[in-house]
Structure 1
Amino acid sequence: MAGERWLEASEVIPMFPTLVWKFLIEAGLRSAIDAKILATLEGMRRELPKLAPGQGWQSEQALHGREEFGQLAACVGNAAKSILRFLRIGCEACEITGCWATVLARGAAHKAHSHPNNFLSGVYYVRTRP
C-alpha cells in the first residue's frame, strides 16, 4: 500500500455531542477555596518575575495533593461522582491524576489541548478578567 493512493475523501461529521457540566460551589465555600488558592499561588510565584503581557505560567501538576487544595479536590470528587451517576457508568470510583494552576497575563491565551487517558476533565476559575 505504500506509495499507493488509498484515500479518496475525508470529512469531519459532528455527530457526537460533548457534554459540559457547570457546577457553582456554595458562595462561602467558594470564597474559602479561592482565598487558599490565591495565597498558595502567590507564594509559589513570589520569587518569579512578573508575567509580561501575553505570557503565562503553569504550576507543577500535583496540587490536588496539597492541603490548601483539599476542599477543591473534595468538590471535584463529588462533581465527578455525580457525573458518573448521570452517565450510568456503574462505578463511582474516580481519581484525580493531575491538578495544576495556569496564570495568564493580559493578552495571553490557553491553547486548545487534550488530556489523554482521562475520562473526565475539569477546570476551576479562581479569578478572571472581563
Structure 2
Amino acid sequence: MNQITLAIVAIMLIIVFGSCSKNSVEVQLRIENNSSFDFDDVQLNPGSDKQEIGSIKAGKKSAYHDFETAYRYGYISLKIQGNTLILQPIDYVGETPLGRGKYTYVVGVDGNPAVNASLTLELVVD
C-alpha cells in the first residue's frame, strides 16, 4: 500500500512541476539606438514588467530581453548627456499584445537632448 501511495504522489508531483514551465517567455525584445547620441541608464517596460537595459552606444543594439507580454510601443526611460528622456504610453486599451517572437524597438531622438528633445519609436519584427 505504501508503494502505491508513493507512486501516486510521485506522479502528481511530476504533473504539477511539469506544468510549471520555466519557458513562459513569449517575446524577446531589444532596443536599437537610431541616434547620434549614446543612451545611458535605459529602462524598458513594453507592457508586462520594467527591465534595466543599461547603456547603448549610438547606432548599436542591446541584447534581447525576455518579456511575457509586450506591445508595439512601451515605456522607455533613458539618459543622454545626463538629461532624462521618457517615452510614456498612456495605456494599451485596444492594443493587441505582440505574438511570440523577436522584436526590436528602434529608438531615435528628435531635437536637442539638452533642451527639448523627444524620443521616437518604431517596431521592427526580427
Scaled by the length of structure 2, the TM-score of the pair is 0.23
Larger Rg: 1 or 2? 2
Larger relative contact order (CA 8 Å, sep ≥ 6): 1
Q: Looking at secondary structure, tell me which structure has more helix per residue.
A: 1
Structure with the higher fraction of residues in strand conformation: 2
